[in-house]
Chain A
Amino acid sequence: MPERITEHAPAEREFTVAQRSQGQLVLRRFLRHRLAVISLVVLLAVVLLAFVGGALWRYDVATLTGDYSQPPSWGHPFGTDAVGHDSFAQVMRGTQISIGIAVLVAVFSTLIGTIWGATAGYYRGALDTVMMRISDLILTLPLLAVAAVLGHNVGGSWWLIALVIAGLYWAYVSRVARGVVLSLREKEFIEAAKALGAGDARIIFRHLIPNALGSIIVNATVLVAIAILLETALSFLGVGVRPPDTSLGLLVSSAQTAVSTRPWLFYLPGLFIIVIALTINFIGDGLRDAFDPQQTKVRE
């Protein structure tokens, strides 16, 4: 019997478990969310197809193939349009542009909105009132209409369209960020940090932002989906990305009279928009569950 005891690990090792960081916990919870993980894989596949496949594909967006209005075939997996453009090349280019715009919008509006909202929420008082009234200004206008006015006049280049959308969307992010910071700043750990003599900068960057990060990341993810839908809508209305470049919205717009005669031109770009937006929404849902601090249960 004594031998068996010595074979065991020391008691201390038996009961202590390897410490997991907050990030590891979040990752574990996210990986358990099956739909979100599948969505992530699908989204990565679409991105890879658009950026790598689009670059390697034998036709370019502008190539005139000489095949007019061909239904999908081995030579043209997505068919061709009435002018002879290869639809696969067009949809891939459109996907690149739409994803590029959406990511740019999410990054810019999240950065500006978070700093804006966090500052207002942390300092409160007159500064808060003034900053939030400025956000309100933008929120009282229908976003699409203002984006259409600006989009019409900045020209059709994709990054300018992204800046226009980001220049309006940060106001929404600032509301969310302010709300999170308002509830966090009353928490005990902030009070404790203050009691220990921490300055504003330390409190904001070491305590507030790391704790607000979950909500901000979830919000930024959903923003990518919203930005894709807004960009495609603008391009559809003719005030977003314009020819010779293309976007998924523009492709749907030019195919709207051909739904019954050349359905591939209409359904395929639409399908790409839906797949991208849907997978991002599911990923956002998975992240929301993963970041939720109330959910402490962690299996294996």
Chain B
Amino acid sequence: MLAYAVRRVLVSMPILIAATFLVFVMVALSGDPLSELRTRNPPPPPRTFELEAQRLNLDEPLLTRYWGWLTGLFRGDFGPSTQSTLQIGPELFARFVVTFRLIALAMLVALVLAVIVGVISAVKQYSGTDYTFTFAGFLFLSMPSFWFAILLKEAGISFNNAVGSQVLFTIGDSSVFVEGGTWAQFTDILGHMILPTISLALLSFAAWSRFQRASMLEVLGSDYVRLARAKGLRQRKVMTRHALRTALIPLTTVTALDLGAIISGAVITEIVYQWRGAGSFLLESIDRNDVYAVSGWLLVAATFIILFNLAADLLYAVLDPRIRYA
């Protein structure tokens, strides 16, 4: 088990490093970090461009810049931003904390709902409930996340108007000023998270519930479930102890594989709800052609995806002895 984990980590490292190289070169070649400076009116003196180019290491060859960035990372230095006052490292960290909070809660909600709906659909296959869930699943799969998020935001505003007070927050990740202690802050953040979490969760829920249904159907048709029934076990016990436990295993892999899509969905959701999270940081940095900031963002996202997949693989090995002993 430990050897398996070590091997997986060793395989992931070169991929991660190659991915950072690809990303850095792609971002560095595709935009001009000084573009904002060039559009200024009146144009700044040539000396300003020289100094700025020097500060951003633009005078060095691309490979040297990459190497400088990569080695700097180990010292905790994410490189200079086009905005001279911005510290990329701490800013990235602060922004991603906000985003990961949203992602974690949305995934949890999506998983719980997907398992419940998937199992009900499978057990009551071809019933009215199953068809309703299936249609809803397809509908959510086909719905653009930003459209649904805006719709939910509008519904939240109408709800607040109907109630006459601000129950659901539709703008920002937290209030600027909160009275009271930690508890008040906690409920404030939670209040801001409700709508974005629903927006983000429903998209993954649609795909996962379809998957859970298929996985459950396969297990229900297997011989060992028939045996469990034949030996007279109660329906409830057959379902929970025998069928569901096995049917949950494949979902771990699918969850991990979808993480990239969920991060993308979180970017969109944050933009709609005007959060100061990783999403707005990415788009602002792209807009400024901020090579180091975009590369840093993608590095954090890629690391997170790789670690999560690793965890899913290890979990799979724990849950499924066939993998462990193979």
Q: A residues within 8 Å of B by Cβ?
A: 133, 136-137, 139-146, 148-150, 152-154, 225, 229, 232-233, 236-239, 249, 252-253, 256, 259-260, 266, 270, 273-274, 277-278, 280-282, 285
Q: How far is the CA of A139 from the CA of B16 in the complex (A)?
A: 11
Q: Does B23 contact A (CB under 8 A)?
A: yes
Judging by beta carbons under 8 Å apart, are B306 and A149 in contact?
no
Q: 8 tightest A-B contacts by CB?
A: A144-B264, A277-B142, A278-B142, A153-B30, A270-B147, A142-B263, A142-B260, A236-B146
Of the listed stretches B82-90, B115-123, B215-223, B282-290, chain A binds B282-290
Q: Does B302 contact A (CB under 8 A)?
A: yes
Judging by beta carbons under 8 Å apart, are B147 and A237 in contact?
no
Q: How far is the CA of A253 from the CA of B306 in the complex (A)?
A: 32
Q: A225-B141, A260-B154 are in contact. List 4 more A-B contacts (CB 8 A).
A: A137-B18, A137-B22, A149-B30, A233-B268
Chain B residues 131-172 with CB under 8 Å of chain A are 138-139, 141-147, 150-151, 154, 157-158
Q: Does B261 contact A (CB under 8 A)?
A: yes
Most chain B CB atoms below 10 A, which of A139, A148, A149, A252: A149
Judging by beta carbons under 8 Å apart, are B268 and A140 in contact?
no
* 12 A-B pairs whose Cβ atoms sit less than 8 Å apart in the complex: A137-B15, A139-B260, A140-B305, A145-B264, A146-B23, A148-B282, A149-B294, A153-B30, A233-B145, A252-B146, A260-B154, A266-B150
Q: How far is the CA of A67 from the CA of B5 in the complex (A)?
A: 65
Q: How far is the CA of A177 from the CA of B321 in the complex (A)?
A: 28
Chain B 257-279 per-residue mask, 1 if CB under 8 angstroms from chain A, else 0: 00011011001100110000000
Partner of B144, one of A148, A149, A249: A249
B147: chain A residues at CB < 8 Å are 252, 270, 273-274
B238: chain A residues at CB < 8 Å are none
The closest CB in chain A to the CB of B263 belongs to: A142
Judging by beta carbons under 8 Å apart, are B144 and A141 in contact?
no
Most chain A CB atoms below 10 A, which of B15, B142, B271: B142
The number of inter-chain residue pairs (CB within 8 angstroms) is 132
A253: chain B residues at CB < 8 Å are 146
Partner of B268, one of A149, A152, A236, A259: A236
Q: How far is the CA of A194 from the CA of B139 in the complex (A)?
A: 46
Partner of A256, one of B261, B272, B283: B272
B22: chain A residues at CB < 8 Å are 137
A233: chain B residues at CB < 8 Å are 144-146, 264, 268
Most chain A CB atoms below 10 A, which of B16, B145, B146, B298: B146
Partner of B286, one of A143, A152, A260, A274: A152
The closest CB in chain A to the CB of B137 belongs to: A281
B267: chain A residues at CB < 8 Å are 142, 144-145, 237
How far is the CB of A264 from the nearest CB of chain B, in Å? 14
Most chain A CB atoms below 10 A, which of B150, B154, B268, B271: B150
Judging by beta carbons under 8 Å apart, are B286 and A239 in contact?
yes
Judging by beta carbons under 8 Å apart, are B138 and A146 in contact?
no
Q: Does B189 contact A (CB under 8 A)?
A: no
Q: Does B26 contact A (CB under 8 A)?
A: yes
Judging by beta carbons under 8 Å apart, are A141 and B302 in contact?
yes
